[in-house]
Structure 1
Amino acid sequence: MDTNTLQELIVNQQEIIKNIQIVPREYAFVKNVNYVLVGMRRAGKSTLLYKLAQDLVKEGADWSQIIYLNFEDERLIDFTVKDFQQIVLVAHQLTDKTPYYFFDEIQNIDGWEHFARRMADQKEHVYITGSNSQMLGQEFILRLGGRYMAKYVSPFNFSEYLTALKISHEKRDLLTAKVRGKVNAAQERYLAYGGLPETIHNPDARNFLTTVYQNTYLGDIIIRHQVRNPQALRLLLSKVAETVMREVSYSSLYKAVKATGAAISRNTVQDYLDFAEESYLLFKVKNFVYKFADRESKPRFYFLDNGILNLLLFDKKSALLENAVAVALHNYYQDNLYTFKSDKNKIDLDFYLPTAKTAVQVAVRLDDYSREREVGALVKFAKNSREPQRLVIVTEYQKETIEQDGQTIEVLPLADFLLEVAGLGEANYVPDVFG
Structure 2
Amino acid sequence: MSLHPVLREKLEAGLLPALKIGSTLRDARLPALPNKVYAVIGMRRVGKTTFLRQLQDRRQHATAPERAVYVSFDDDRLAELPLTQLNLLLEEYYRNFPQWRRSEVVSWFFDEIQVVTGWERFIRRLLDTERVEIVVSGSSARLLSREVHTSLRGRGWETVIRPFSFREFLRHRGKEPNKPVAHFTAVERSLVEKEFREYLAVGGFPEAQGMAPPLRVQLLQGYVDTLLLRDVVERFQVTQVAALRWLTRHCLRNPAGPLSVYGLYRDLKAQGHGVAKDTLHALLAHLVDVFLVTAVSLSTDSERRRNSNPRKIYPADPGLVGAFDSSGRTNVGHRLETVVLNELERRKADVGYVRTAAGFEVDFHARFLAAGEALIQVCADPGDTNVTARELRALEDARREYPRAECLLLVLTQDQALEVLRIAGHGIRVDPVYQWLLDGASGA
Q: TM-score, normalised by structure 1?
A: 0.87
Aligned residue for 1:277, secondary structure, equals: helix
Maintained 8 Å contact 1:341/1:347: yes
Kindly state the Cα deviation for residue 206 of structure 1 after the two structures are TM-superposed.
2.5
Structure 2 counterpart of 1:141:
149
The alpha-carbon distance between structure 1 residues 370 and 229, as it changes in their structure 2 partners (threshold 3 A), is same
Kindly state the Cα deviation for residue 287 of structure 1 after the two structures are TM-superposed.
0.7
Maintained 8 Å contact 1:239/1:257: no
Task: Tell me whether 1:42 sits opposite 2:52 in the alignment.
Answer: no
Which one of the candidate residues 288, 305, 311 is aligned to 1:277?
288
Kindly state the Cα deviation for residue 341 of structure 1 after the two structures are TM-superposed.
0.9
Indicate the larger mover: 231-240 or 205-214.
205-214
Task: Tell me whether 1:106 sits opposite 2:125 in the alignment.
Answer: no
The alpha-carbon distance between structure 1 residues 3 and 72, as it changes in their structure 2 partners (threshold 3 A), is closer
Kindly state the Cα deviation for residue 338 of structure 1 after the two structures are TM-superposed.
0.9
Kindly state the Cα deviation for residue 43 of structure 1 after the two structures are TM-superposed.
1.6
Structure 2 counterpart of 1:160:
168
Kindly state the Cα deviation for residue 263 of structure 1 after the two structures are TM-superposed.
3.7
Structure 2 counterpart of 1:422:
441
Q: Distance in 2 between matches of 1:405 and 1:158?
A: 27
Kindly state the Cα deviation for residue 19 of structure 1 after the two structures are TM-superposed.
0.8
Deviating above 6 A after TM superposition, structure 1's stretches of 4 or more consecutive aligned residues are: none
Aligned-partner residue type, residue 419 of structure 1: L
Structure 2 counterpart of 1:340:
354
Task: Tell me whether 1:194 sits opposite 2:203 in the alignment.
Answer: yes
Which one of the candidate residues 101, 104, 126 is aligned to 1:119?
126
- Size of the aligned set, in residue pairs, is 420
Aligned-partner residue type, residue 380 of structure 1: D
Where in structure 1 are there 5+ consecutive unaligned residues?
Answer: 426-435
Q: Distance in 2 between matches of 1:396 and 1:347?
A: 22
Q: Distance in 2 between matches of 1:97 and 1:32?
A: 24
The alpha-carbon distance between structure 1 residues 60 and 357, as it changes in their structure 2 partners (threshold 3 A), is closer
Q: Distance in 2 between matches of 1:291 and 1:243?
A: 27
Q: Distance in 2 between matches of 1:421 and 1:234?
A: 36
Aligned residue for 2:114, secondary structure, equals: helix
Superimposed CA distance per residue, residues 325-379 of structure 1 (whole angstroms, 9 cap, x where no aligned partner): 1111122134x1110113x332211111244331111121211121111011112
The alpha-carbon distance between structure 1 residues 259 and 188, as it changes in their structure 2 partners (threshold 3 A), is farther
Superimposed CA distance per residue, residues 121-155 of structure 1 (whole angstroms, 9 cap, x where no aligned partner): 11333111134397543x64254244443222222
Kindly state the Cα deviation for residue 115 of structure 1 after the two structures are TM-superposed.
1.7
Which one of the candidate residues 406, 411, 417 is aligned to 1:399?
417
Q: Distance in 1 between matches of 2:46 and 2:443?
A: 24
Superimposed CA distance per residue, residues 26-63 of structure 1 (whole angstroms, 9 cap, x where no aligned partner): 23334585411111122222112111211222123234
The alpha-carbon distance between structure 1 residues 155 and 94, as it changes in their structure 2 partners (threshold 3 A), is farther
Q: Distance in 2 between matches of 1:87 and 1:178?
A: 55
The alpha-carbon distance between structure 1 residues 198 and 251, as it changes in their structure 2 partners (threshold 3 A), is same
Where in structure 2 are there 5+ consecutive unaligned residues?
Answer: 101-105
Structure 1 counterpart of 2:87:
85
Aligned residue for 1:392, secondary structure, equals: strand
Maintained 8 Å contact 2:163/2:204: yes
Aligned residue for 1:17, secondary structure, equals: coil
Superimposed CA distance per residue, residues 363-401 of structure 1 (whole angstroms, 9 cap, x where no aligned partner): 21211121111011112222x236243222222222226
Q: Distance in 2 between matches of 1:58 and 1:405?
A: 51
The alpha-carbon distance between structure 1 residues 192 and 107, as it changes in their structure 2 partners (threshold 3 A), is farther
The alpha-carbon distance between structure 1 residues 248 and 24, as it changes in their structure 2 partners (threshold 3 A), is same
Superimposed CA distance per residue, residues 73-112 of structure 1 (whole angstroms, 9 cap, x where no aligned partner): 2222222434322321332344334353211133343432
Q: TM-score, normalised by structure 2?
A: 0.85
Kindly state the Cα deviation for residue 167 of structure 1 after the two structures are TM-superposed.
1.0
